[in-house]
């Protein structure tokens, strides 16, 4: 890249964003990837103006603007998930481009803002993973509303000039040093050094901009009102009313997002959602808040970021900081955060898993960012107990009974999985999991499931057997693996000189217990199995006596992020933990036979 130039200026009803890029095609691969210009835009709010497409070859400027016609197609990449954004992509296939050519093009987006017409938020990277000759950024903004600026891992600053009531902020960064990209960074974290700018003084300004669009529906459709009044009649406790209303909205209305133009910000009313039987996060959140209001509770829609919510506290305020909506309900002095787009949720008011998106912005008067509650993970959400009974002279096969208990968030996930894929698919997945370790294992009973939805607990039982001849003939019994399933595994990025934290995701606690009986010896514990670090712990407990043993793994993450300074220690801990997930024994060993031989 030789030049990257972006500029923005406010105008009535929106803003104009100008972009110019100049780059050289250096090889045949680059010809394939750079001989076409792809521009994504929203036809309902953006007007795309192409200024020029030039090829610079042997010192001559070849104008390709008029002869390069765009091919515009809709790009609904999330339609299978019920999300329709109305986006389009203009493809410009440049005529007669060759290796060695310099491509120079510029365009302007004229954007009609849907909300907060007089606000601006912009961010840009100050370094890239590949070389750039010049990064130029220029913003023109009214002087009576100064922009806030915030740097992330960069110390660049703009040249600022003021004239005729407008302030010009301008950055010119010459030959910035390329930066190595890193894996497994926290969601929402800037991958590259970045500058933010915002016209909003605080998050309260953002809430004020959205609030008019999220007024509760005080009059519900007649049939819906009857159903809600039945909930009030059958459940006198406010906590129970809240849960029944949550399940009503979650399970009755399917998720479809018509985020076209104004639909990206403005929700549909309760009557339309109820009539069509579907809605997106905004629609369902407003519907649930309105229902809770009818049930006598205080409730308000809150905006969250589904991926980068934990990073909002370090961001400048903007209307584009959010991509999801939930409900904040209040009973007495306790708040509850509910995601109305989920389904098959378990639990009651005292134990259901609340929406966990880091920080949220309630659209109430005087609101600002609030931290959402999280499970402290003091007890496991998934516990597995495997019981192996080795063959005997009377029983010429090994049996395996596995009992998995899913609680809280793990129960919600399993309940959704069962509703989407069915019991048969889950049963096959479990059998294939064990067959990778114990080939030719056979299922001896259908999968048993028990769901206590109010307790938010699901129990699944599996039963398998393996013929003794197969166990002994393959030498499997002499190198028998006992493996703890503590998934998902910890990330292990391959990075040097790391600058960003490693993302461990939400806190989790897993337990896996293995019991083996009908053994012919006493087996000792493996050595150095525990891994105890500030970011996670793996605790191994071993018990044995003649004929049986028990191995018990406890795995718990203690932090959601590992700081860069601890990266090398973290990697060593992950390697040690991975080695401790599997132990092996020679279960063909007969202690009595050896004694008799002596």
Where exactly are the structural domains of the chain?
3-77+85-200, 208-371, 382-594
Examine the pLDDT at 71 and tell me if it is beyond 90. Answer: no
- Residues 317 and 209: their CA atoms lie apart, in Å, by 12
The helix (run of H) or strand (run of E) holding residue 397 is strand 397-407
Please write down the HEC assignment for all residues of 492-507. Answer: CCCCCCCCCCEECCCC
Examine the pLDDT at 75 and tell me if it is beyond 80. Answer: no
- Residues 340 and 131: their CA atoms lie apart, in Å, by 45
Examine the pLDDT at 351 and tell me if it is beyond 80. Answer: yes
**pLDDT class of 261 with cuts at 50, 70, 90:** low
Determine the average pLDDT of the residues in 325-345.
Answer: 95
Burial class (CB in 10 A: 0-12, 13-18, 19+), 48: middle
Give the residue carrying structure tokens 């009857």.
226
Contact assessment for residue 17 and residue 102, using Cβ atoms and an 8 Å cutoff: no
Examine the pLDDT at 596 and tell me if it is beyond 60. Answer: no
Nearest to 475 by CA among 361, 586, 592, 597: 586
The helix (run of H) or strand (run of E) holding residue 551 is strand 548-557
What does DSSP assign to residue 235?
-
HSE (CB half, 13 Å, CA atoms) of 18? Answer: 14
Helical axes 238-252 vs 281-294, angle rounded to 10°: 150
446-460 burial by CB neighbour count: b if 16+ within 10 A, else e?
Answer: ebebebebeebbbbb
Nearest to 194 by CA among 204, 202, 185, 207: 185
Strands (E) located in 143-228: 148-152, 159-163, 166-174, 194-198
What does DSSP assign to residue 355?
P
What pLDDT is attached to residue 593? Answer: 72
What pLDDT is attached to residue 472? Answer: 85
More confident residue, 449 or 30: 449
Average pLDDT over all residues of the chain: 91
The helix (run of H) or strand (run of E) holding residue 555 is strand 548-557
Examine the pLDDT at 500 and tell me if it is beyond 70. Answer: yes
Examine the pLDDT at 381 and tell me if it is beyond 60. Answer: yes
Examine the pLDDT at 77 and tell me if it is beyond 80. Answer: no
- Residues 268 and 164: their CA atoms lie apart, in Å, by 42
Q: Which fold has domain 3-77+85-200?
A: Immunoglobulin-like (2.60.40)
| Phi, psi values for residue 243, rounded to 5° | -65, -40
Examine the pLDDT at 598 and tell me if it is beyond 50. Answer: no
| 524-576 pLDDT per residue, tens | 999 999 999 999 999 999 999 999 999 999 999 999 999 999 999 999 999 99
Q: Alpha carbon 26 to chain centroid distance?
A: 37
**pLDDT class of 445 with cuts at 50, 70, 90:** very high
Class of domain 208-371: alpha beta
- Residues 265 and 322: their CA atoms lie apart, in Å, by 10
- Residues 211 and 302: their CA atoms lie apart, in Å, by 10
**The pTM is what?**
0.88
- Residues 64 and 72: their CA atoms lie apart, in Å, by 18
């Amino acid at each position: 890249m030789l030049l990257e130039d972006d500029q923005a200026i406010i105008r009535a009803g929106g803003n104009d964003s100008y972009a110019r890029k100049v780059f050289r095609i250096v090889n045949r691969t680059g010809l394939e990837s750079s001989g076409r210009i792809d521009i994504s835009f929203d036809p309902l709010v953006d007007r795309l103006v192409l200024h020029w497409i030039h090829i610079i070859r042997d010192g001559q400027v070849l104008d390709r603007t008029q002869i390069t016609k765009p091919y515009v197609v809709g790009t609904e990449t999330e339609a299978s998930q019920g999300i329709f954004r109305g986006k389009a992509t203009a493809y410009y296939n440049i005529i007669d481009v060759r290796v060695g050519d310099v491509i120079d093009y510029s365009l302007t987006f004229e954007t009609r803002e849907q909300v907060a017409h007089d606000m601006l938020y912009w961010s840009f990277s100050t370094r890239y993973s590949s070389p750039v000759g010049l990064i130029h950024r220029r913003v023109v903004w009214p002087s009576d509303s100064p922009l806030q600026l915030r740097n992330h891992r960069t110390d660049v600053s703009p040249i600022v000039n003021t004239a005729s009531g407008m302030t010009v902020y301008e950055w010119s960064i010459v030959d910035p040093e390329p930066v190595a990209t890193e894996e497994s960074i926290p969601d929402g974290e800037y991958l590259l050094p970045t500058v933010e700018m915002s016209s909003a003084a605080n998050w309260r300004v953002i809430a004020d901009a959205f609030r008019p669009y999220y007024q509760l529906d005080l009059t519900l459709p007649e049939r819906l009102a009857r159903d809600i009044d039945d909930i009030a009649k059958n459940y006198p406790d406010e906590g129970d009313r809240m849960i029944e209303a949550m399940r009503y909205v979650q399970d009755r209305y399917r998720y479809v997002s018509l985020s076209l133009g104004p639909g990206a910000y403005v929700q549909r009313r309760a009557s339309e959602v109820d009539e069509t039987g579907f809605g997106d996060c905004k629609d369902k959140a407003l519907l649930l808040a309105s229902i809770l209001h009818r049930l006598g509770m205080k409730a308000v829609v809150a905006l969250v970021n589904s991926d980068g919510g934990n990073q909002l506290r370090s961001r400048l305020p903007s209307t584009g900081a959010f991509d999801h909506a939930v409900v904040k309900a209040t009973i007495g002095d306790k708040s509850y955060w509910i995601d109305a787009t989920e389904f098959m949720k378990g639990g009651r008011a005292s134990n259901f898993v609340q929406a966990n998106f880091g920080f949220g912005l309630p659209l109430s008067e005087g609101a600002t960012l609030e931290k959402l509650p999280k499970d402290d993970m003091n007890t496991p959400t998934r516990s597995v107990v495997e019981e192996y009974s080795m063959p005997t002279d009377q029983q010429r096969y090994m049996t395996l009974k596995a009992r998995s208990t899913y609680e809280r968030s793990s129960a919600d996930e399993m309940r959704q999985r069962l509703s989407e894929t069915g019991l048969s698919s889950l049963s096959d997945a479990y059998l294939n999991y064990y067959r990778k370790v114990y080939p030719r294992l056979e299922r001896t009973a259908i999968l048993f499931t028990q769901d206590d939805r109010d307790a938010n607990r699901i129990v699944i039982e599996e039963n398998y057997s393996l013929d003794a001849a197969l166990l002994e003939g393959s030498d499997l019994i002499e190198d028998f693996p006992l493996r703890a399933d503590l998934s998902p595994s910890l990330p292990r990025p391959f990075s040097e000189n790391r600058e960003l934290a490693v993302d461990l995701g939400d806190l989790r606690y897993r337990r896996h217990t293995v019991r083996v009986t009908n053994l012919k010896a006493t087996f000792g514990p493996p050595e150095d199995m525990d891994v105890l670090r500030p970011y996670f712990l793996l605790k191994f407990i071993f018990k044995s006596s003649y004929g049986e043993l028990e191995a018990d793994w406890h795995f718990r993450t203690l932090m959601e992020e590992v700081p860069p300074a601890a990266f090398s220690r973290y990697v060593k801990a992950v390697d040690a933990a991975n080695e401790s997930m599997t132990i092996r024994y020679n279960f063909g060993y007969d202690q009595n036979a050896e004694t008799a031989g002596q």
